[in-house]
Amino acid sequence: MDKINVDHMLAIEEPFIKAPLEQLKRTVRQSQRQVERETAQVSAVLKTLVKGGDGVAAEDMAETLDGLVGRLKALRDKLDEAKQEEALLIQRSKQRAADLHELSEFESSTQPEFQRWCRARLDRVLIDYMLRSGNVDTAQKLAATGGLEHFADSSLFSLVMSTERELCEQHSCHGALQWCAENRSALRKIQSSLEFELRLQEFIEMIRVSRTPDAIVYAKKHLTQWSDTQLPRIQRAMTLLAFSPDTRCPPYKSMFDEARWDQLALEFRSVIFQLFNLPAQPLLHLLLQTGLSALKTPACISGDSTEHNRNCPVCQIETLGRLAKDLPLSHHVHSNLVCRITGERMNEDNPPMRLPNGYVYSFNALTEMAKLGGKVKCPRTGEAFAITDAKKLFIS
């Protein structure tokens, strides 16, 4: 019973190991594209100078070369920063792989080393939850306290939070569009329309402030390139030019709705999580739901509150019960009887006892209750009976 099922534990850890690898892959690609772009532009300028030959003034040539040197130095500085980030991500990946490798070295769940590993795992699960909730400072303090800095994707979640604030509070698409430009090929692979939604929102905002000529120019430049996949929406967007922001016409009223900013923030979060192989739900929720699904029974979802067990977390409809609402019922080959008074399992050492009113409780619970006057009181109906009236039941 104490044997550790490593495969089951690793099944939910895929995002933990993949996130830094995805970040590393994208950092390397961005650096490569930046080098290719800058070197191509520098080569083009040098070719122009060579073709000009003696026709180019010495002062102009020197100024041009100085400009090229400045660009190459700036490129070098950016590559140095990228190199440091790559080294950090590589180190983070190594430490995470080593942490998961420790699982194969544990022989029993009762080992003190395994208990320490589980506590560290709980800390990083809480860190993930706090980062997703926007409590970045608290998450970083917990990571620093436990030496778990390499287990926290703080930079990634900081980017998500700052972009969401820019969208929801400042009503600006600048940061999100810049991110889309840097990850355009990846967005194309997953067929994401995030960039189109952002461009459409900028177009709508121009119409909102009566910048109609600018909106038309913007649509020709940025919206028409999506005509292959978004033509009906582009046509509807152009029709928006004929309506005012306070229109009551349903299709166009929703386009002017300020709630679109919140939808954009949610879509940005969903897309970035998809690119970096992060689950949409916090890992804390997934782990809790895994446990809750093993406890959920028909009694937990009964409309009769008297059927609920006060010691069952699924029956607590205002707390964990909400998290278990959409989960399937647990599958039990062998049923377990649990006393609703003590929460203890009823078996041969603690047999089930039936009261005259038909309700069943454990022997230990009724015996403890009978110590006060020899009577037992049914917690469901309030009826009182003598302990001798309780009949022992046998489980077959």
Please give the average per-residue pLDDT across 112-135, as a whole number: 92
Buried b (16+ CB within 10 A) or exposed e, 201-214: bbbbbbbbeeeeee
Whether the CB-CB separation of 345 and 351 falls below 8 Å is answered with no
CA dihedral 94, 95, 101, 107 (to 10 degrees): 160
Buried b (16+ CB within 10 A) or exposed e, 378-393: beeeeeebebeebeee
In this prediction, residue 54 carries a pLDDT of 64
DSSP tag of 4: -
Higher pLDDT, 310 or 339: 339
In this prediction, residue 396 carries a pLDDT of 66
Asked whether the predicted pLDDT for residue 306 surpasses 80, the reply is no
Taking all residues of the chain, what is their mean pLDDT, rounded to a whole number?
88
* In the chain, alpha helices (H): 6-11, 14-52, 58-101, 112-133, 136-146, 154-168, 174-182, 184-189, 194-208, 212-218, 227-239, 250-256, 259-275, 283-293, 320-323, 363-370
CA 143 from chain centre, in angstroms, equals: 18
Residue 106 CA to residue 4 CA, distance in Å, equals 8
Asked whether the predicted pLDDT for residue 103 surpasses 60, the reply is yes
Q: Which residue reads 């879509």 in tokens?
A: 267
Residue 396 CA to residue 387 CA, distance in Å, equals 24
CA 381 from chain centre, in angstroms, equals: 45
In this prediction, residue 134 carries a pLDDT of 87
Share of the chain above pLDDT 70, in %: 97
Helix (H, G, I), strand (E, B) or coil at 271: helix
Whether the CB-CB separation of 352 and 373 falls below 8 Å is answered with no
Higher pLDDT, 231 or 341: 231
In this prediction, residue 122 carries a pLDDT of 92
In this prediction, residue 91 carries a pLDDT of 92
The answer to which of 9-23, 151-165, 330-344 has the lowest mean pLDDT is 330-344
Residue 225 confidence class, pLDDT cut points 50, 70, 90: very high
Higher pLDDT, 138 or 328: 138
Q: 385, 383, 381: which is closest to 370 by C-alpha? A: 385
Q: 146, 171, 143: which is closest to 158 by C-alpha? A: 143
**Token pair belonging to 151:** 């287990």
In this prediction, residue 269 carries a pLDDT of 95
In this prediction, residue 382 carries a pLDDT of 86
Give the pairing type, strands 345-346 and 337-338: antiparallel
Residue 396 CA to residue 391 CA, distance in Å, equals 16
Highest mean pLDDT (candidates 77-86, 193-202, 359-368): 193-202
In this prediction, residue 333 carries a pLDDT of 66
H/E element holding 354?
Answer: strand 352-354
pLDDT tens digit string along 240-295?
999 999 989 888 999 999 999 999 999 999 999 999 888 888 989 888 888 888 88
Asked whether the predicted pLDDT for residue 335 surpasses 80, the reply is no
Residue 67 confidence class, pLDDT cut points 50, 70, 90: confident
Please give the average per-residue pLDDT across 208-233, as a whole number: 93
Query: Which pTM was predicted?
Result: 0.75
**C-beta pairs of 180-188 under 8 Å, 24+ apart in sequence:** 182/30, 183/26, 183/275, 186/26, 186/275, 187/271, 187/275
In this prediction, residue 307 carries a pLDDT of 72
Asked whether the predicted pLDDT for residue 1 surpasses 60, the reply is no
Higher pLDDT, 312 or 129: 129
